A and B are shown apart, each in its own frame.
Chain A
């Protein structure tokens, strides 16, 4: 089985712009979670989607949003980028019967200038 894929792998944006990141889960996995990883804050949960519905949300401002499509692929969007949004954005997928067993993709490295 192919693993979790994320595109793009690297991205450079400027402050005030918006960005969309994409995640394709492992085949058969219907739950997709997003995490932000920074040196200062570590790995922090952004949100989780299951069957096109947001099931849980972390403590991030409304500029961070996401969605899930009927094929379980997910996108996250960050609007009005700030310097502090520079991070590695990780997507993880899990199967319906095992939400806790999460498999991560390689991440998208976002740099905001």
Chain B
């Protein structure tokens, strides 16, 4: 059972544009939602994370929007750059019990010139 659904599978954005990646979860016990960025040949790097008590968190060009009632959250990359080309994973964690990250299937982002 896939508990975190991620879309789109791939995304092409022009330099300077906004990249938007969406995730939806099923388990309401999840209470921590990070995003990871992975370049080829590297491990996932923690980008930004949010908890359900806030609806938005911004760090530089990266923003997470969180909709608790809809059980959805999204990553927005403003002013996308070619260096942002990577695979992005959303994840969810239940701090109460699970102690494991449940990942989405990943979005391959390509930022063109």
B34 touches A56 (CB 8 A): no
**Chain A contacts for B86, CB-based, 8 A:** none
Distance from B52 Cβ to chain A, minimum over Cβ atoms (Å): 13
Q: State in angstroms the CA–CA spacing of A96 and B32 once bound together.
A: 16
Total number of A residues with any Cβ neighbor in B under 8 Å: 24
A13–B71 Cα gap in the complex (Å)?
42
Chief secondary structure at chain B's binding surface: loop
A-B CB pair tally, cutoff 8 Å: 56
- Stretch in B10-18, B57-65, B74-82, B101-109 touching the partner: B101-109
A99 at the interface (CB under 8 A from B): yes
Which B residues are in CB contact (< 8 Å) with A45?
A: 100-102
What is A's interface to B at a CB cutoff of 8 Å? 4, 6, 31, 33, 35, 42-45, 48, 55-56, 58, 90, 92, 99-107
CB within 8 Å of A: which residues of B?
32, 34, 36, 41-46, 49, 89, 93, 95, 98-106
